[in-house]
């Protein structure tokens, strides 16, 4: 990743986030296929979710080192103001207030790990430590085409 992109990395503190959507459970090598499918399903059923804050933004959530079955997998969600009448087959997830190193990534989902590697190097260089047992987020501004994502990568730090 270019030095210019890494200069755009920032550390942000976010308030609690209430999320509603789908949990994806599959073998690790299948996430690259299953997440886009689940994203399309969420987009198709978005009108069933109450109190959506911004229907054009999806939020992915995951814990790097799952410490329990409840946190295993990947969540494809939208942010809501509050929980009410969760649609059948969907789940809710509350992410507590946290501090993140944030990098905006544009490109194919197949290269996202390279962007994460660069973000992790930046985190280490700046003296932060990654919080591997806390929720990490991906805020998707464009997800329709897995080859042309626009996503903010939020790596939880301390």
Q: What is the mean pLDDT of residues 115-124?
A: 95
CATH number of the domain where residue 101 is located? 3.20.80.10
Tell me the residue range of the domain where 87 lies: 3-156
Q: Are 21 and 76 in contact (CB under 8 A)?
A: yes
Please state the rounded mean pLDDT for residues 73-80: 98
Instruction: Work out how many domains the chain is built from and give that number.
Output: 1
Give a three-class secondary structure readout of the chain.
CCHHHHHCCEEEEECCEEEEEEEECCCHHHHHHHHHHHHHHHHHHHHHCCCECCCCCEEEEEECCCCCHHHCCEEEEEEECCCCCCCCCCEEEEECCEEEEEEEEEECHHHHHHHHHHHHHHHHHCCCCECCCCEEEEEEEECCCCCCEEEEEEEEEC
Residue 3 has pLDDT above 60, yes or no: no
pLDDT of residue 2: 45
For the question of whether the overall pTM of this predicted structure is more than 0.85, the answer is yes
pLDDT at 109 over 60: yes
């Amino acid at each position: 990743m270019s030095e210019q992109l890494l200069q755009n990395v920032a550390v942000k503190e976010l308030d609690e986030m209430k999320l509603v959507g789908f949990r994806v459970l599959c073998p690790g090598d299948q996430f690259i296929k299953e997440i886009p499918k689940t994203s399309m399903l969420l987009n198709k059923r978005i009108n069933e979710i109450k109190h959506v804050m911004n229907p054009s933004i999806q939020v992915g959530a995951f814990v790097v080192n799952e410490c329990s079955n409840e946190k295993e997998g990947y969540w494809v969600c939208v942010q809501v103001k509050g929980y009410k009448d969760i649609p059948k087959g969907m789940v809710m997830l509350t992410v507590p207030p946290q501090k993140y190193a944030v990098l905006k990534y544009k490109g194919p989902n197949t290269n996202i790990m390279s962007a994460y590697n660069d973000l992790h190097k930046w985190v280490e260089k700046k003296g932060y430590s990654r919080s591997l047992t806390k929720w990490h987020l991906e805020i998707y501004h464009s997800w329709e085409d897995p080859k042309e994502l626009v996503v903010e990568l939020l790596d939880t730090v301390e």
